[in-house]
Amino acid sequence: MRRKKLDALWSEGKNFLGTELPILAGAMSWISDSRFVASVCNHGAFGCLAAGNMPPKSLNEEICALKDLTDKPFGVNLITIAPNYQDHLKVSLANHVPFVIFAGSYPRRPEIQAAKDAGTRVISFASTETLARRLIDTGVDALILEGSEAGGHVGHVSLGILLQQVLFKVNDVPIFVAGGIAHGAYMTHLLLMGAAGIQMGTFFVMTDECRTHQNFKQAFAKARAREAVSTPQISSDLKVIPVRALRNKGLDEFNQLQMDLIQKRKKRLISHSEAQFEVENYWTGALRRAVQDGDVERGSLMAGQSVGLVDRCQPLHEALNRFLMEADAELDRIKILCRTIGSSLKTQEKTD
């Protein structure tokens, strides 16, 4: 699976992750378990175990199982706003995991330092230049820029803007990019822009090794890009992190849930933290119903807009090989284009 043509472009990402490919499989709750993550790692990419809000004992068991299934580097994705976050961090560091990936909100300096003291490398999501520089100053080893095109919990800014705001201005640490990626040619251009590597989620769902319900995968195969929509925040009375998913009854029911919670808040029947818990609890249950039970009507079909680019399921090695062939072919096309431009410029210089 080696692609020597790309070595000059992705050596930073490969060396940082310690993998054959600087391609991260984004952590997805109810999907990115030890078996799937190990499969990703053993195929040369970088797998991320999704801690979500599972019981700390379960996370410990998953990390131990993962270590038995692969000797490759991997990461544990920790949601900083999850109720079990602090326990998750302790469990991860006690197991000396190679990487922790902070998501949800930015981690505090003592948490980053604790990870580094344990010999664990730290990656964190950044959505603005200011936040990126703050995280670097706090000690993170790498950043992930995730555009709003991605699936699941996302920010409000597209990857195209984040590249200009952060990637083109920050070069202190490796920067991986995510959101709307499903074709190898796109990765080639992102690497040429300075990205250390990429992260994909929807792409990996459509592999045989991803053990989601067939109804879930069939919904992805049939979907168009515009059907993966981001949930609106109905009122500032209830802060909602946008979630991108395929539109169905479940997505509509979430909007109704927001309105119900807002009314309860106004009547002081529920606290802000309780309302926020209800929001996250909804998505946790809805995603499980779709992923495990195949309820594609009322379950949550979290998907990025790249769902419009994946229309069939295939073995992981075939999906990655095709992706890398696309990347190689694009690099060859760019080389030919550059030679053509160079020749044209020389001809112009002679005539001038």
Using the Cα atoms of residue 36, residue 143, residue 3 and residue 341 in order, give the sign of their dihedral.
positive
Among left, alpha and beta (phi > 0; psi -120 to 50; other), residue 28 is beta
- What is the CATH superfamily name and number for domain 11-211+314-336? Aldolase class I (3.20.20.70)
Question: What does the alpha-carbon distance between residue 23 and residue 103 come to, in Å, rounded to a whole number?
Answer: 18
* 167-186 average pLDDT score: 96
3-class state of residue 110 by DSSP:
helix
* 283-296 average pLDDT score: 93
pLDDT of residue 325: 95
* 215-242 average pLDDT score: 89
pLDDT of residue 53: 86
pLDDT tens track for 89-130: 999 999 999 999 999 888 999 999 999 999 999 999 998 888
pLDDT of residue 280: 82
Enumerate the domain spans of the chain. Answer: 11-211+314-336, 214-305
Question: What does the alpha-carbon distance between residue 128 and residue 116 come to, in Å, rounded to a whole number?
Answer: 24
pLDDT tens track for 14-31: 999 999 999 999 999 999
Question: What does the alpha-carbon distance between residue 319 and residue 203 come to, in Å, rounded to a whole number?
Answer: 8
What confidence category does residue 352 fall into, taking pLDDT thresholds of 50, 70 and 90?
A: low
Question: What does the alpha-carbon distance between residue 140 and residue 327 come to, in Å, rounded to a whole number?
Answer: 29
* Torsion angle, alpha carbons of 101, 290, 154, 262, to 10: -120
Residue 88 in this model has a pLDDT that exceeds 70: yes
Residue 9 CA: distances (Å) to CA of 45, 149, 309: 16, 24, 24
pLDDT tens track for 236-284: 777 778 889 999 999 888 888 989 999 998 888 988 888 878 888 888 8
Residue 49 CA: distances (Å) to CA of 15, 92, 335: 20, 11, 37
What confidence category does residue 180 fall into, taking pLDDT thresholds of 50, 70 and 90?
A: very high
Share of the chain above pLDDT 90, in %: 76
Residue 191 CA: distances (Å) to CA of 1, 60, 331: 18, 35, 10
Question: What does the alpha-carbon distance between residue 36 and residue 16 come to, in Å, rounded to a whole number?
Answer: 22
Residue 3 in this model has a pLDDT that exceeds 80: no
Full DSSP string of 136-193? HHHT-SEEEEE-TTSSEE--SS-HHHHIIIIITT--SS-EEEESS---HHHHHHHHHH
* Cβ contacts of 178 within 8 Å, gap of 6 or more: 24, 26, 144, 145, 146, 147, 150, 159, 198, 199, 200, 201
* 147-154 average pLDDT score: 93
Share of the chain above pLDDT 70, in %: 99
Residue bearing tokens 């699936």: 151
Rg (CA), the chain: 21
Question: What does the alpha-carbon distance between residue 101 and residue 123 come to, in Å, rounded to a whole number?
Answer: 5
Residue 83 in this model has a pLDDT that exceeds 90: no
pLDDT of residue 281: 84
The chain-wide mean pLDDT, for the chain, equals: 93
Least confident of 99-103, 114-118, 174-178, 285-289: 285-289
Question: What does the alpha-carbon distance between residue 227 and residue 265 come to, in Å, rounded to a whole number?
Answer: 31
